[in-house]
Amino acid sequence: MPCRDYMDDPRYQADMQAKCDLLSRIACKALTHIEESGDGLEILILKDPEIATWWRAHKEADRKEQARIAEEERKKRVRASALRKLTSEEKKELGIK
């Protein structure tokens, strides 16, 4: 099958990253559904080396990004909690807005 994206519309060519992100989201949703359905089709993911390689790398990249976002949110919560404990005068003295 000569698969390619067929999205030759200039608005898609103008922003290649957005196009790649769109295709990745579509593939991720489809492969997640296949994996979670438990109907035996998940073997297709493992049989095709191109899919299996991309899927493993994509899931690992997603895991790392989720961990990075969670760490950023944790730091924001810690900072907000610490700032609530300071008085206006203490914040001013420390140069914190």
13 vs 24: CA distance, rounded Å: 16
Domain boundaries, the chain: 12-94
- pTM greater than 0.85: no
pLDDT at 46: 80
> What is the per-residue pLDDT across 30-39, written as a single tens digit (0 to 9) for each?
999 999 988 8
Phi-psi region of 26 (alpha: psi -120 to 50; beta: other; left: phi over 0): alpha
Q: Which residue has 């914190």 as its token pair? A: 96
pLDDT at 11: 62
Which pair of tokens denotes residue 95?
């140069």
Which pair of tokens denotes residue 10?
């200039």
pLDDT at 19: 82
Average pLDDT, the chain: 87
DSSP state of 14: T
> What is the per-residue pLDDT across 39-69, written as a single tens digit (0 to 9) for each?
888 888 888 899 999 999 999 999 999 999 9
45 vs 61: CA distance, rounded Å: 18
pLDDT at 77: 97
27 vs 9: CA distance, rounded Å: 20
Cα dihedral: 14, 16, 18, 22 (round 10): 120
